[in-house]
Amino acid sequence: MIKIYHNPRCRKSREGLDLLEKSGKDFEVVLYLENVPTPNELQTILKQLGIPAMELVRKNEAIWKEKYKGKTLSENEIINAMVENPKLIERPIVVNGNRAVIGRPLEEINKIV
């Protein structure tokens, strides 16, 4: 089943959700700020995306700039930072089977739906 990691306050995330709704396919919405992915779940998502953890981080968030910017962090430390501060997770993330995309630009979602 298709899964979207969604933040209703984010315009791009809302647009991604709208695209999925219009696709007519079944999908699950994960409000990741409330149901924060575990470190293992994030590791799986990163493998599905085929990217290192740093590429999933929203580096313009104040929490990143205040606590982490300029520090040398391991993959696990970056993942743990996202678990502790889920606002740092880029959105929307759409997972379908063993593949995932970040819906920026929005057209990326079409590649796996």
**Number of structural domains, the chain?**
1
Structure tokens at 48: 């599905």
Count of C-beta atoms within a 10 Å radius of residue 39: 12
Q: Which of 5, 6, 10, 16 is catalytic?
A: 10
Query: Is 20 tagged catalytic?
Result: no
pLDDT in tens, 28-76: 999 999 999 999 999 999 999 999 999 999 999 999 999 999 999 999 9
* CATH number reported for the structural domain that contains residue 71 in this entry: 3.40.30.10
pLDDT in tens, 13-34: 999 999 999 999 999 999 999 9
pTM metric for this prediction: 0.94
Of 106, 63, 101, which Cα lies nearest the Cα of 82?
A: 63
Alpha helices in 50-111 (DSSP H): 62-67, 75-84
Tell me the residue range of the domain where 13 lies: 2-111
